[in-house]
Amino acid sequence: MSGHLCPACASSATSKIYRLDAVPVQSCILLDSETEARDFPQRPIELHFCNNCGFVFNALFDLSMVDYASTTEESQHFSGTFNRFAKDLVEEIASLDDLSGRRVLEIGCGKGDFLQELVQHTGARGLGVDPGFIPERLPGANGQEIRFQREYFDPANIAEAPDYVVCRHTLEHIPKVGPFMSDVSRILTDEADVGIFFETPDVARVLDEGAFWDIYYEHCSYFTMGSHARLFRRNGLGITKLYLAYDGQYIIQYARAGGAPVLHEEDDLDAVRALAKSFPDQVQKKRDFWKGFVAERHKVGKRVAIWGGGSKGVSFLTTDRIASMVANVVDINPFKQGKYLPGAGLRVSAPEDLKEAPPDTVIVMNPVYLKEIGAQLASMDMHPELVAV
């Protein structure tokens, strides 16, 4: 037993499975200089596993160290691959629920891209809530009603009960997931037709692959499909659809107020217990492999570039302090370009900048983008060794 109660189910049956002594407390923040980036605050991560519900959490997380209202850049909507995925999700939501004229609340809407697409496609009335929303980044919703509150989600500030709740890539940032889901339940009406859509990273894949690049400070809460569903059921929400998407990286979950039959995808406790047990060895092997991979190429004078200046890239570079062996960090997001990565201190470049000194090896931070990135490099007449984590 670790002495830390599970934030999801309050069980004391938790144990430590991973620790990092110092990582940047924000990985999507935009920093203006190498000095500012290298001096950015760092804190430890200590992942604990709950044997009772399968939840994984950073027991040392300090929310006061993370400022989501600061200048951050988490949007993936500059990728055609990601945009197609988001559009497919909008179409799926629309096929399951008629949202025309209904009130849709998105908790943690980011820059508002997904909510805008959903409102335009369905004719819903949208309200997005996020402290990091930037009004000038969203041109409008073609006459449809869409509003934003630049603040953290607080049920007291939601004037009208929503007919539908969307929450994408936000739950993993919430340390007290039990009270948060209780707050979500509180804003729902008693009507059973209130729909709920959540999208959250899947930690089963991280445990299975030893994917250390998917562990970073802002992600304090880690779910499997089963632990995700169990959290909802403890808060009076029934699961209606549950599956993995985006090359198995994301949990997609639909729910309704009230009960619903248990889905077979929720039955994963034995499997995730085994994954948690093997994770310490698996993650060390993966860290050793990638540190050696970069070091070998650097030693013989090859230029190594990292493609992806987001959280995965920051974690990949800072977990084993390999930034000094990397020549370039590339990202297609124009808002990241020219900025510096926290902890690593490397400047983010546009893809076109690689022409000045072409890389010998490009490491892609998400395999789902491998084809898209390979095509972009080929269009610039570059054919480096191309690998994905």
How far is Cα 115 from Cα 124, in angstroms, rounded to an integer? 10
Q: What is the pLDDT of residue 68?
A: 76
How far is Cα 70 from Cα 278, in angstroms, rounded to an integer? 37
Task: Please choose, from the candidates 45, 65, 43, 67, the residue with its C-alpha nearest in 3D space to the C-alpha of residue 56.
Answer: 45
DSSP β-bridge partners for residue 129? 107, 149
Q: What is the pLDDT of residue 1?
A: 65
Q: How many Å separate Cα 127 from the centre of its chain?
A: 21
- Contacts for 118 with CB less than 8 Å, ≥ 6 apart: 90, 93, 94, 99, 104, 106, 124, 126, 166
Q: Where are the alpha helices (DSSP H) in the chain?
A: 34-38, 80-96, 113-122, 177-186, 203-209, 225-234, 269-299, 311-319, 370-379
How far is Cα 90 from Cα 194, in angstroms, rounded to an integer? 17
Per-residue pLDDT of the chain (389 residues; tens, 9 = 90+): 668 999 999 999 999 999 999 999 999 888 999 999 999 999 999 999 999 999 999 999 999 999 876 665 454 555 677 788 889 999 999 999 999 999 999 999 988 989 999 999 999 999 999 988 877 666 654 456 899 999 999 999 999 999 999 999 999 999 999 999 999 998 886 665 789 999 999 999 999 999 999 999 999 999 999 999 999 999 999 999 999 999 999 999 999 988 889 999 999 999 999 999 999 999 999 999 999 999 999 999 999 999 999 999 999 999 999 999 999 999 999 989 999 999 999 999 999 999 999 999 999 999 999 999 999 999 999 999 999 99
Q: What is the pLDDT of residue 73?
A: 47
Domain residue ranges in the chain: 14-61, 80-271, 299-388
Q: Strands 42-50 and 14-24, how do they pair?
A: antiparallel
Q: How many Å separate Cα 124 from the centre of its chain?
A: 25
**What is the maximal distance between C-alpha atoms in the chain?**
66
301 within 8 A of 42, measured Cβ to Cβ? no
Indicate if 299-388 has the same CATH topology as 80-271: yes
Residue 83 has which token pair? 């945009």
How far is Cα 32 from Cα 36, in angstroms, rounded to an integer? 7
How far is Cα 9 from Cα 13, in angstroms, rounded to an integer? 10
Phi, psi of 74 (to 5 degrees): -110, -5
How far is Cα 128 from Cα 133, in angstroms, rounded to an integer? 9
Candidate CATH numbers 3.30.565.10, 3.40.50.720, 3.50.50.60, 3.40.50.970; the one for domain 299-388 = 3.40.50.720
In words, the CATH class of domain 80-271 is alpha beta
Q: What is the pLDDT of residue 137?
A: 61
How far is Cα 130 from Cα 203, in angstroms, rounded to an integer? 24
